[in-house]
Structure 1
Amino acid sequence: MADSTPLLSQPNSVKSESSPPPLEKHHLSLDSTIERCIGDFGWAQFLQALLVSIAWIFDAQQTFISVFTDAHPAWHCTSNQLDCNSVSNICNLPKNSWAWDFPAYTSIISEWNLECAASIITGLPASSFFLGCLVGGLVLATLADSSLGRKNMLFLSCLTMSLSSLLTVFSTNIWVYSALRLVCGFCRATIGTSALVLTIELVGKRWRGQVGVIGFFCFTIGFLSLPAIAYLNRISSWRSLYLWTSIPGILYSLLVHFFVRESPRWLLVRGRKEEAVATLKSIAPPSHSWSFSEVSFEQEMSNNGNVYSTIKMLVQKRWAFRRLLLVMVIGFGVGMVYYGMPLGLGNLSFNLYLSVTLNALSEIPSSMFIILFIGKLNRKISVLAFTTLSGIFSIMCALKGEVWTRLQIGLELISFFSACTAFGILLIFTIELFPTCVRNSATSLVRQAIVFGGVFSPMLVAAERRDGISSYVVFGLVIGCCGLFAACLPETRGRALFDTMDEEEHKEKSACNGVGDVLA
């Protein structure tokens, strides 16, 4: 465990007593001195957070691009035969009696003649992407906490995701296409986690919720840009969408490599104090002056020596493993709705471009809500309330009748808004639940649980392509039941961020002892 003397101290500070102060006092000293050195919240921190958060734009585009590239195109009858006009399934019609409204190359369905293929085939590319995200998260989750760090993980993930997306342009069939989507998902698995953790660790606890929401806004911008790009290219090949989203991502990756700074907290935990000082100086106001104090990080470095040691640390500590399981279960339910609803918009009796735009726009009030109220929101109650609300309105989308059909898009938007808000609060909640040495790994695993929920969504939507409303019942039941586990987690609102497992465990035991004293 790190020595309890402050890492950064003001000049002329009085030396500490020979006996070390309590463990919690060390943490508050470290946390407060870092905040004092970099100021409350300055322009340098904002610019760094903004540059890092832009990665979410490209992440969102690759996540939801299949809504348009894999969509079932509109068709029309080429003859005036009554049986053609009365049949809704083109698989029951002769090939020469109908035609696509747009050129065949506008969608993979029409280009590769998949209109009558099994749902497992048409849903394979999207499911492959989410499966790649799941595997990539499990394989790459600990690299940002161990050897690579937050910045390098973000750079490599964004670059390889964009390159694999560019290669998708050259797909010749559904199998090659699905394989490349699998690679793309694998590469992008840690983008959101690395970006979120890096931005939050650049600021003090007062601003971590608000700064974290910058990434959510950028994700919304990326999501919102898709229907615009798709509409402008609606008569062009589906491959053009991958060109428009991959090339800017490659250029952005270079900006990350040259201009983004590493998390000072991670550098300190890894014992790279000189680099941490350089980072703090680069974002600290010029008027701030401070100096180093010697601090030992030998034990913490030994814990981080192995790439997968952070996973071992999470599993070995009973309190950490319990927290991790609970937030992952909640994440699974949130992910099924968050990723499933946009993919299922084509099954609603509403314009696809407009419905996707409305869904993307609904993330803006969600992010605004989090920005304005995250400092006042009880994490447990908020996650429980929004998952329940999302579940109720998702189930209501499946109600039959002319009146309910008219209200369908409104009910879907309320459910999606609630899922988005639960998503954002859950990620911030997770970051507050775990210390610096395992924070990125824990957050990555929770995001993989969210993605795991998304793995099943394309199959459900594809299976219900002719009447996809019943899939919303499944979405609602899953998120509603999984959200109930939030009641078993400790509250973290307003609590300081800890850096080591020992500090977090010390706080956990203190809280348990306090509850025991009250009950006694």
Structure 2
Amino acid sequence: MADPNPLLSQTSWGEPEAAPPLTEGKLDRRPSLDDTIEHCIGDFGWTQILQVTLVSFAWFFDAQQTFISIFTDAEPKWSCINSNSSSSCNENSNPCQLPRESWSWDFPASTSIISEWSLECAGAIITGLPASAFFSGCLVGGFALASLADSALGRKNMLVLSSLLMSLTGVITAASTNVWMYAGVRFIGGFARATVGTCALVLSTELVGKKYRENVGIIGFICFTLGFLSLPVIAFSLQGSSWRLIYLWTCVPSVLYSIAVFFLVRESPRWLFIKGRKEEFAETLRSIAAPSNRSSLTQSFFGRCADWGEKKQEADVFSALKILVEKGWSCRRLVAVMVVGFGIGIIYYGMPLGLGNLSFDLYLSVTLNALSEFPASLLTFLLIGKLDRKGSVLGLSLFSGVCSVCCVLVRWKVLQIILELMSFFSACTAFDIVLIYTIELFPTCVRNSAVAMVRQALVLGGALSPVLVAAGRTNGLLMSYGVFGVTISICGLFVVCLPETRGRVLSDTMEEEERKNAAFDGIYCV
């Protein structure tokens, strides 16, 4: 009688180390964990659609907290109380040089932290402190929490914990009484938020078969765009109301979302397997498998999987990061892709924060930038299976840099905003591709940590952006958009030293990835 599972009838399911040596130019085609999960999960069913969509929606709330300061920390418009008075007040005046009784805010002081706490003359360092504190918190949180999703907690639990803490911190932020408390709570919010996008991306791609992995990753980017786009809508609807309401309207739903993820989403079967939790691995595969394949997921089937064995890892929560830096090839890959990420991040986070320097309506310019993320995500979704990772990232980085520098050189405002949108669109597309690229560059045992570190590099660019934006207000666009463009162009060149990964099967252990590297020895820098 024919074996109902022909995939399992092939050669031994032993440890990866036991594989025969590769012949030149060939990869080991023995069934892997990827093949097993692909066989079990089958087609992209409704269960997977629900799971992936729910996980990816974490990006929606992530975007809101990332860019919320565009509105809560904005300097409101003001008007002269009596333009004919002896105070010589007019629209070109500096309010810091005018008597306080000669002008007033156009909206209630509570609409922004600037007006509520009288920070209009406090200087760029103080007014930019909350945004910088948030991104600094992201940096610290990323380094502190990056390895937990690979080691102790897993993808799902880390996502729930980060999302819940980010949301609760946002609610507390609304109770801030001064800029110092506000900046401190924003730092904590950034710390909690650091791994939300990373865990959502890795978990969503590990819940589906390899056929759909590239496209599934883009769902999160679309959700991020929707979250970004929701901000001007929420802010405009609350125009004239307290800035605190914006935090409450974005964070309370996020708390409810975190609870839903805890009860409705399954853990990554890949992570469960390599951690030796075979019973949970089996139960997870049964719950998300296509109905036509569930009958084949018998105890005998999982017994064969048990014979395969897992790669035991250290109990240290930072073990994944240690593995990354101890291996020369993985350390070089990580450094190269982080440099590329830093260059992209300085434009991706800096451009929206610097929109106030372009003399356009803030709500309109933010909306246009948010809308430009849609075609970027759509383009990536449609072409990710056909795009070479290296060439795409390099071309998009250079094009974004050129457009950013041109924003400094042109004086026509319409052309200026068009160039800004083109630069931001290119950076958004490069951002999407780099995260997918990073998933493909590193094996399962360190993947979440690697993606987290690349996100750290992106956020580092974001942490420096408010300083450059503040400098651009007083010293011209050269100090902001000019530096943005030069940085992303130079950093983008580092992608040439990374291997091309389009069409390659994901590895699960460092040894498996090293065997694949051996088949292409000498072709790539790392």
* TM-score interval, normalised by the smaller of the two chains: over 0.9
Cα pair 2:13 2:305 within 8 Å, conserved: no
Quote the Cα distance in structure 2 between the aligned partners of 1:364 and 1:27: 40
Quote the Cα distance in structure 2 between the aligned partners of 1:326 and 1:202: 28
Q: Does 1:115 align with 2:90?
A: no
1:409 to 394, 397, 417: 417
Residues 340-380 of structure 1: per-residue CA shift (max 9 Å, x gap) = 01011111111100110111110000000001100000000
Q: Does 1:135 align with 2:161?
A: no
**How do 1:26-65 and structure 2 match up within 5 A?**
28-65=31-68
Aligned-residue sequence identity (percent) comes to 60
Quote the Cα distance in structure 2 between the aligned partners of 1:14 and 1:75: 75
Quote the Cα distance in structure 2 between the aligned partners of 1:187 and 1:52: 17
Cα pair 2:80 2:91 within 8 Å, conserved: no
**How do 1:413-492 and structure 2 match up within 5 A?**
413-466=421-474, 469-470=477-478, 471-492=480-501
Q: What SS class does the counterpart of residue 174 from structure 2 fall into?
A: helix
Cross-structure match for 1:246: 251
Structure 1 residues 17 and 45, CA, compared in 2 at 3 Å: closer, same or farther? closer
Q: What SS class does the counterpart of residue 90 from structure 2 fall into?
A: helix
Q: Which amino acid aligns with 2:106?
A: D
Q: What SS class does the counterpart of residue 350 from structure 1 fall into?
A: coil
Q: What SS class does the counterpart of residue 172 from structure 1 fall into?
A: coil
Q: Does 1:262 align with 2:267?
A: yes
Structure 1 residues 358 and 513, CA, compared in 2 at 3 Å: closer, same or farther? closer
Q: Which amino acid aligns with 2:79?
A: H
Q: 1:200: how far off?
A: 0.6
Structure 1 residues 269 and 105, CA, compared in 2 at 3 Å: closer, same or farther? same
Q: What SS class does the counterpart of residue 327 from structure 1 fall into?
A: helix
Q: Which amino acid aligns with 2:367?
A: T
Residues 48-72 of structure 1: per-residue CA shift (max 9 Å, x gap) = 1100011101100000000000001
Quote the Cα distance in structure 2 between the aligned partners of 1:15 and 1:502: 21
Cross-structure match for 2:72: 69
Quote the Cα distance in structure 2 between the aligned partners of 1:331 and 1:13: 40
Q: What SS class does the counterpart of residue 99 from structure 1 fall into?
A: strand
Quote the Cα distance in structure 1 between the aligned partners of 2:43 and 2:13: 31
Which structure 2 segments of 5+ residues have no match? 22-26
Q: What SS class does the counterpart of residue 53 from structure 2 fall into?
A: helix
2:311 to 280, 300, 303: 300
Structure 1 residues 43 and 84, CA, compared in 2 at 3 Å: closer, same or farther? same
Q: 1:202: how far off?
A: 1.2
Structure 1 residues 320 and 360, CA, compared in 2 at 3 Å: closer, same or farther? same
Q: Does 1:101 align with 2:106?
A: yes
Q: What SS class does the counterpart of residue 403 from structure 2 fall into?
A: helix
Q: What SS class does the counterpart of residue 49 from structure 2 fall into?
A: helix
Quote the Cα distance in structure 2 between the aligned partners of 1:48 and 1:14: 31
2:198 to 193, 196, 211: 193
Cα pair 1:27 1:503 within 8 Å, conserved: no
Cα pair 2:163 2:255 within 8 Å, conserved: yes
Give me the CA root mean square deviation.
2.1
TM, length-normalised to structure 1: 0.94
Residues 225-247 of structure 1: per-residue CA shift (max 9 Å, x gap) = 00000001110000000000110
Structure 1 residues 417 and 28, CA, compared in 2 at 3 Å: closer, same or farther? farther
Residues 402-452 of structure 1: per-residue CA shift (max 9 Å, x gap) = x3x221111111000000000000000000000000000000000000000
Cα pair 2:271 2:444 within 8 Å, conserved: yes
Cα pair 1:348 1:468 within 8 Å, conserved: no
Structure 1 residues 320 and 270, CA, compared in 2 at 3 Å: closer, same or farther? same
**Larger CA deviation: 264-273 vs 31-40:** 31-40
Q: 1:80: how far off?
A: 1.9
Cross-structure match for 2:24: none
Q: 1:111: how far off?
A: 0.5
Q: What SS class does the counterpart of residue 292 from structure 2 fall into?
A: coil
Cα pair 2:137 2:190 within 8 Å, conserved: yes
Q: Does 1:309 align with 2:319?
A: yes
Q: 1:513: how far off?
A: 5.9
Cross-structure match for 1:505: 514
Q: What SS class does the counterpart of residue 76 from structure 1 fall into?
A: strand
1:379 to 386, 389, 408: 389
Q: Which amino acid aligns with 1:427?
A: L
Q: Which amino acid aligns with 1:464?
A: G
Q: 1:330: how far off?
A: 0.5
TM, length-normalised to structure 2: 0.93
Which structure 1 segments of 5+ residues have no match? 1-7
Cross-structure match for 1:5: none
Q: 1:186: how far off?
A: 0.1
Q: 1:47: how far off?
A: 1.2
Alignment coverage as a number of residue pairs: 506
Q: Which amino acid aligns with 1:336?
A: I
Quote the Cα distance in structure 2 between the aligned partners of 1:245 and 1:392: 35
Quote the Cα distance in structure 1 between the aligned partners of 2:238 and 2:121: 25
